[in-house]
Structure 1
Amino acid sequence: GLLDPNGGSTRHLWWRALKLPMYSVAAAPLTTAAAMTHHWFGCVNAPQLGCFLSGACLVIAWLNLANDAWDHSTGVDANENGHGGKPESVVRLLGNDDAAVKKTHVAATVSLLAGVSLIFKGVRYSMASGMASLSTLSAAGGMLLAAVALGHAYQGPPFRLSYKGLGEPICFAAFGPLAVGAFYLLLAAGGPRGGGGG
């Protein structure tokens, strides 16, 4: 394939840019929440779980793409003296210029909106079951919004907390108690016993 000046074929760099293992971060809280739901209620609404998993993966894609765009904009990925930088950055692979940054931000925003839309589709299973109280939906929604806000604070300006030694605590909070708690509340309320399908 085409060679990048920093080494590696373009195809290989795109493969690295996808960061597939990172999407396990979306699956971990959902797997935990689904296991808890199955343990306590004996069932999990598979279509609802699928909506949540797809949506969560798109939110992770937003984090990845937005991080690449912000890294480029703030000089984190600067190629000093012809060496260094991050050759698998999506911005760099798209041309390493302002247009590439804009394309990456657009792709990130589309990923976030699509992810939130799929998660809301999953929430509708909980609403349709008639088993989710307004307080349950509010609590779950608040936890998910807090997790997304932490995701932005992790990689987006003016915070960029991942570069201030706070990346691990933020990831723990967002993908631990916040995501697991929210998805458990929603899955528990969206099961087949409430008419949510299954």
Structure 2
Amino acid sequence: MTDTADVSRREAWLIAARPHTLPVAAAPILVAVGLAVRDGVFAPVPAFAAFVGAALIQVGTNFANDYYDAVQGADTEEREGFTRVTAGGLIEPYEVKRATYLTFGAAILVGTYLVVVGGVPILVVGLLSVASGIAYTGGPYPLGYHGLGDLFVFVFFGVVAVTGAYYVQAVTVLASGIPVWPPKGSITTASLVASLPIAAIATNILVVNNVRDREEDATTGKRTLAVRFGYTFSRVQYVALFVLAYAVPLWFYVRTSDLAVLLPFLSVPLAVSLSRTLFTRTDGEALNPALSRNGQLLALYAVLFGVGLAV
């Protein structure tokens, strides 16, 4: 953990927001925009609003994670991860909790516009996303403490994020009024399949985090999949998710015979390098940089895939 003696208040809030996690919010939008361009339903304003909403949910989840892990005793002095502002005493717990709800409130405000565009489906998805962001480490049954964090990330920061961002663009073009049910063509098989690589690589960020924190999590009662099933399971999971991510461009290629959709394969060397690190190391010295590089891989993959789909 970082020495907190000379950390300013502004720096502390940046630490709490964890801007290095924002590729998780941006990646789904990049892929959804690429697919929307391909399908002739690109709409820039809903796409941008979807990104802002996703980014706010990501930051709100980060604040909630920082706060609830501290008050529930999951962050200890033995932690090898990045600095936590609540546990480290940099920001008062009530301030972090307040920031959590203010950020989610801002996401709901942005979501109001998206509800006008996308109707009832977006209202339901938005409320579930906010509730799950809080429930990840808070509430009576914290998802991250019961081995459900991986599923949460896969579904909400992958499948829901990509298909939702595609939907709000497509519905702008295909429908009039406020939809009660998704109009035909607004949620496609291609958008669902295209969401899987983003879901997989975003989940792998959590896998790296959980491998690094396995020993501490085991002592504090945080029953992640790494704690429940061990290092070998997490390493197999990590590689399997990468296999899923790189199988999807092949699915698109078989359907379209368009070589451009194979652009994500340019990122394979980074995925291989990250896998080697996870297979040989469990310490923060190696896995903290790997977390950042996994976020870079997610961003790179999303750019390559989005461009490949668009062209």
TM-score, structure 2 as length reference:
0.48
Question: Match of 2:83, SS?
Answer: coil
The whole-number CA distance in structure 2 between the counterparts of 1:122 and 1:183 is 10
Q: Is the Cα–Cα contact under 8 Å of residues 53 and 111 in structure 2 kept in the other structure?
A: yes
**In the alignment, does 2:4 pair up with 1:4?**
yes
Which position in structure 2 is the counterpart of 1:52?
A: 50
Identity %: 24
Unaligned 5+ residue runs, structure 1? Answer: 127-131
The whole-number CA distance in structure 2 between the counterparts of 1:191 and 1:93 is 49
The size of the alignment, in residue pairs, is: 172
The whole-number CA distance in structure 2 between the counterparts of 1:115 and 1:146 is 12
Q: How far is 1:24 from its partner?
A: 1.2
Which region of structure 1 is more displaced relative to structure 2, 101-110 or 47-56?
A: 47-56
Q: Is the Cα–Cα contact under 8 Å of residues 77 and 85 in structure 1 kept in the other structure?
A: no
Q: How far is 1:191 from its partner?
A: 4.5
Unaligned 5+ residue runs, structure 2? Answer: 177-311
2:111 to 107, 119, 123: 119
Q: 1:105 to 1:142 in 2, by over 3 A?
A: same
Q: How far is 1:60 from its partner?
A: 1.0
The whole-number CA distance in structure 2 between the counterparts of 1:140 and 1:38 is 21
Q: Is the Cα–Cα contact under 8 Å of residues 136 and 144 in structure 2 kept in the other structure?
A: yes
Which position in structure 2 is the counterpart of 1:89?
A: 84
Question: Match of 2:75, SS?
Answer: coil
The whole-number CA distance in structure 2 between the counterparts of 1:95 and 1:75 is 16
Q: 1:179 to 1:74 in 2, by over 3 A?
A: same
The whole-number CA distance in structure 2 between the counterparts of 1:87 and 1:36 is 35
The whole-number CA distance in structure 1 between the counterparts of 2:63 and 2:161 is 21
The whole-number CA distance in structure 1 between the counterparts of 2:79 and 2:36 is 46
The whole-number CA distance in structure 1 between the counterparts of 2:121 and 2:53 is 19
Which position in structure 2 is the counterpart of 1:177?
A: 159
* Cα displacement string for residues 50-95 of structure 1 (whole angstroms, at most 9, x for unaligned residues): 222122111111101111111111111244xxx5486721224554
Q: How far is 1:107 from its partner?
A: 0.8
